[in-house]
Amino acid sequence: MATKTKKKASGKSGGSAGSSYFCGIDIGGTFTDCVVRDEKGRLTIAKSLSTPDDSSRGFFDALGVAAGKLGLSLEQLVSRTELLLHGTTLGTNALLERKGARVGLITTAGHADALIMMRSVGRSAGLPIQQLLHVSRHRKPEPLVPRQLIREVSERVDWSGDVVLPLNEEEARRAILELLAQKVEAIGVCFLWGFLHPEHELAVKKMIREEAPEIYVTCGHELINKPGEYERSAAVAINCFIGPIMSRYVGKIEARAKEMGYQRRLLIMQSSGGVATAAEVAHKPAFTIGSGPAGGLTACQFLAGLIGHENVIASDVGGTSFDVGLIHEGQAITGSETTLNQYTLLAPHLDVISIGSGGGSIIWVDPMSHTLKVGPESAGANPGPACYGRGGKRPTVTDANLLLGYLDPDYFLGGTHKLDREKAQAAMKTVADELGMSPLEAASAAVQIVEFQMAELMRQMTVQRGFDPRDFVVYAYGGAAGAHCATYTRELGCKQVVVPLGSTASTWSALGVQSADLFHVFEKAELFVAPYNAARINEICEELEARGIEQLTRDGLRRDEMSLERYAEMKFRLQIHLVEVPVPPGKLTAKSLAALEQSFVEKYERLHGKGSAFTSAGIEMGLLRVTARGRIRRPSLLKRPASRQNPRSGHREVYWSGLRKRVQTPVYDWTKMGAGTKLKGPAIVQMPETTVVVPPGTAGHVDGYGNFILTIQEKA
């Protein structure tokens, strides 16, 4: 991307004279993470508590902590920032907490109940296994758009895109006025087959703009260009539900950054693994759902390509959740459906699955079974774990880690936050007494439970998809990953786990935002049955590629900074299992389309088993997709030098569940561990922003990039 000249910051200047910076900020449920990279590739990482009441405050708080480490004021850092990139869970949280806008929906006459009816799987979609077991308790989610705020308008387009019934503009305008009288904050427009003939949706959007220019508006064809009446309606409802809050949020950040001298556009992480401009995200905020975990997986793909790992299980242990994604043969595995709050959103995304197991997950006793449970409820940032001393009374995984000796109460986050062991003990005692255990026994049991939950999710993501986890390397990141990664890796059967860039692992998703490209997806749904119409397929591909180039040009990129890739969704006739297959560049011929069919068969059997391909049924192609990627500056990693300092900083008592006793355990200072440093467990590696637990039967070493690598040698 072409760069603009920056104004010099006023006042005392710190950092490298004249340096410009690249800043990535990721807001999680407990902490807001920031990674600042200078022009030479040096990284400065910072964490601050998230501020759920106003996430933009936490955004600049984290930047301020990083600025202080660089010897700069916040204003100086922002004014000297070349690129400001952001991953946010604001839209996700608004949807989960039902704290969105009051939404009205305008749809085709006779189809007002599509959103309310959902699919038959809607009662159980996205539910955790604990709830799936109780079928009688399954319920549809509360509608994002209540029935009284849905209006029907006479119009009809058929499956081929032909207009059967013209739009009744009088009905449309009356529907708009009725919804405005109901004090809606956003209006969605989603007509049957509207993606094939968008003119009706656009006409209604124009009327809304005429009647109420300030109202947030979304049309179905702007989000999803393929069949699925309910899914498109749900996407429109979700986009409108979170749209106003996201628009205000990104606008607030952009305005404050501009006041401080930032001259470029704010870039926001999307669930697809790429970034988009704030203006694009304000228009389509639904595509940011899951953007935080996507940032972590994007960073893993970047690092794996650098050090030569083809197969990676990416595991992110934050304060609220545990997220898992896969990289297979060098490529992050993607999906086309996202389910949140039981609503299904059709959108390309990096396939990351989450459960409520993190450092802030609450430890409790099930009153029915009288057994110990961990999560999914989290203490979050406020009040947080009991040991934070912010009013939390219930025990969490972080409290358990403190009692076991994994954490140093005087060196949490480099000593910026003190942990209260007595408060952790008192909170754990409430659970332990109920089970007839000591607080230490309850803490050890809770940690084992949460680690087995983590291993089980990783097993589902690999074994249940036909992958052997022993063929993968585990990457462990997030603030709490280091404390648990050795155990869940051993439980899974893997032999090696990488804590990427050591202490930087605690802010890994923020680095991932920096390693992402500008990314847009363009799709066209049209059914083709072999033998295919090559001319029509070429026409669609060229149209989608032209749209991609046009969008990236608007984003400020040159043609040589763009790359386009094509994909087709294919399936056997009479089956439902879709497979995404790469389409070769250039003009497609009968020969290249035959090769495409063969690629589909090979991938189908790789996913579903050898011999599972039903070739005699015939093959269909239902969707063509073009991804437009714009290259922006990626982080360049510096080599970590060797060190002659003694990294051992002392000993402390640690309870090891495998040994069933406390052991005086050596503690290592990460800041003194250079490339080539080796150690054997049991040990604790203390980093400024995280802690890595090295159990008995595990060895660790530091590689040339500063990754801390654990090798599982034997059973603990």
Q: State the CATH number of the domain containing residue 522.
A: 3.30.1490
pLDDT (mean) for 8-27: 64
What is the dihedral angle through the alpha carbons of 310, 567, 465, 302, rounded to the nearest 10 degrees? 30
pLDDT tens-digit readout, 278-308: 888 899 998 888 777 888 899 999 999 999 9
Q: How far is CA 686 from CA 666, 689, 697, in A?
A: 10, 9, 19
Rounded-to-integer distance, Cα 215 and Cα 712, Å: 57
Buried b (16+ CB within 10 A) or exposed e, 416-428: ebebbeebbbebb
- Does residue 51 form part of some domain? yes
Rounded-to-integer distance, Cα 272 and Cα 283, Å: 16
Contact 359, 385 (CB under 8 A): yes
- Residue 234 burial (C-beta neighbours within 10 Å; 0-12, 13-18, 19+): buried
The CB density around residue 559, as the number of other CB atoms within 10 Å, is: 8
**Closest among 411, 417, 477, 418 to 652, alpha carbons compared:** 411
Mean pLDDT of the chain: 88
pLDDT at 104 over 60: yes
- Does residue 695 form part of some domain? no
Rounded-to-integer distance, Cα 607 and Cα 501, Å: 33
What pLDDT does 7 receive? 39
The reply to whether 227 and 268 lie within a common domain is no
Domain-terminating residue out of 630, 654, 685: 630
**Closest among 681, 251, 214 to 482, alpha carbons compared:** 681
pLDDT band at 324 (very low <50, low <70, confident <90, very high): very high
The reply to whether 198 and 164 lie within a common domain is yes
The reply to whether 216 and 260 lie within a common domain is no
DSSP run (H or E) holding 307: helix 291-307
DSSP letters spanning 27-51: E-SSEEEEEEEETT--EEEEEEE--
The residue among 364 and 608 whose pLDDT is bigger is 364
- Does residue 28 form part of some domain? yes
**Closest among 158, 217, 165 to 187, alpha carbons compared:** 217
Tokens standing for residue 523 = 């799709």
The SS3 of residue 457 is helix
The residue among 678 and 30 whose pLDDT is bigger is 678
pLDDT band at 665 (very low <50, low <70, confident <90, very high): very high
What pLDDT does 126 receive? 58
- Does residue 539 form part of some domain? yes
Rounded-to-integer distance, Cα 528 and Cα 694, Å: 55
pLDDT at 13 over 90: no
pLDDT at 44 over 80: yes
Supply angle C-alpha 632, 637, 638, rounded to 5.
140
DSSP letters spanning 531-592: SP-HHHHHHHHHHHHHHHHHHHHHTT--GGGEEEEEEEEEEETT----EEEEEPSS---HHH
Phi, psi of 256 (to 5 degrees): -70, -40
pLDDT band at 342 (very low <50, low <70, confident <90, very high): low
Residues linked to residue 401 through DSSP beta bridges, in sequence order? none
Rounded-to-integer distance, Cα 605 and Cα 644, Å: 53
Q: How far is CA 343 from CA 134, 150, 235, in A?
A: 19, 17, 9
Rounded-to-integer distance, Cα 221 and Cα 231, Å: 12
Instruction: Report which residue type is found at 616.
Output: S
The reply to whether 234 and 107 lie within a common domain is yes
Phi, psi of 163 (to 5 degrees): -80, 120
Domain CATH for 125: 3.40.50
pLDDT at 341 over 80: no
- Does residue 437 form part of some domain? no
pLDDT at 70 over 90: yes
Rounded-to-integer distance, Cα 628 and Cα 517, Å: 10
The reply to whether 209 and 119 lie within a common domain is yes
Q: Whole-structure pTM over 0.75, yes or no? A: yes
The reply to whether 212 and 110 lie within a common domain is yes
What pLDDT does 263 receive? 87
- Does residue 301 form part of some domain? no
Tokens standing for residue 2 = 């072409």
Phi, psi of 269 (to 5 degrees): -70, 140
Tokens standing for residue 461 = 């993501």
pLDDT (mean) for 594-604: 91
What pLDDT does 99 receive? 84
The SS3 of residue 647 is coil
Tokens standing for residue 599 = 């690629």
**CA 438, 441, 445, 447 torsion-angle sign:** positive
Domain-terminating residue out of 179, 209, 238: 238
Question: Which residues are within 8 A (CB) of 157 and not within 5 positions of it... i.e. 6 or more apart?
Answer: 163, 164, 191, 192, 193, 194, 196, 197, 200
What pLDDT does 131 receive? 63
- Does residue 550 form part of some domain? yes
Contact 101, 216 (CB under 8 A): yes
Give the structural domain span for 85.
21-93+248-288
The reply to whether 28 and 72 lie within a common domain is yes
pLDDT at 8 over 50: no
- Does residue 513 form part of some domain? no
Rounded-to-integer distance, Cα 201 and Cα 199, Å: 6
**CA 408, 453, 296, 30 torsion-angle sign:** negative
pLDDT band at 125 (very low <50, low <70, confident <90, very high): low
DSSP run (H or E) holding 693: strand 691-694
pLDDT at 9 over 60: no
The reply to whether 106 and 230 lie within a common domain is yes
pLDDT tens-digit readout, 511-530: 888 888 898 989 998 889 88
The reply to whether 114 and 166 lie within a common domain is yes
The residue among 116 and 433 whose pLDDT is bigger is 433
**Closest among 236, 250, 243 to 283, alpha carbons compared:** 243
The reply to whether 107 and 70 lie within a common domain is no
pLDDT at 371 over 70: yes
pLDDT at 27 over 90: no
Q: How far is CA 548 from CA 270, 280, 551, 566, 664, in A?
A: 16, 14, 5, 11, 60
Tokens standing for residue 492 = 């899974």
Percent over 90 (pLDDT), the chain: 57
The reply to whether 118 and 161 lie within a common domain is yes
pLDDT tens-digit readout, 236-248: 999 999 999 999 9
Contact 209, 64 (CB under 8 A): no
What pLDDT does 5 receive? 37
Which residue is it, tokens 């462990």?
476
Q: How many domains does the chain have?
A: 3
What pLDDT does 118 receive? 74
pLDDT (mean) for 59-71: 93
Question: Which residues are within 8 A (CB) of 688 and not within 5 positions of it... i.e. 6 or more apart?
Answer: 413, 414, 503, 670, 671
Domain-terminating residue out of 288, 304, 320: 288
Domain CATH for 252: 3.30.420.40
The reply to whether 217 and 132 lie within a common domain is yes
Q: How far is CA 298 from CA 127, 509, 514, in A?
A: 26, 8, 9
Contact 427, 433 (CB under 8 A): no
Instruction: Report which residue type is found at 176.
Output: I
pLDDT tens-digit readout, 468-514: 999 999 999 988 999 999 999 999 999 999 999 999 998 998 888 88
Integer-rounded Cα radius of gyration of the chain: 26
What pLDDT does 261 receive? 92
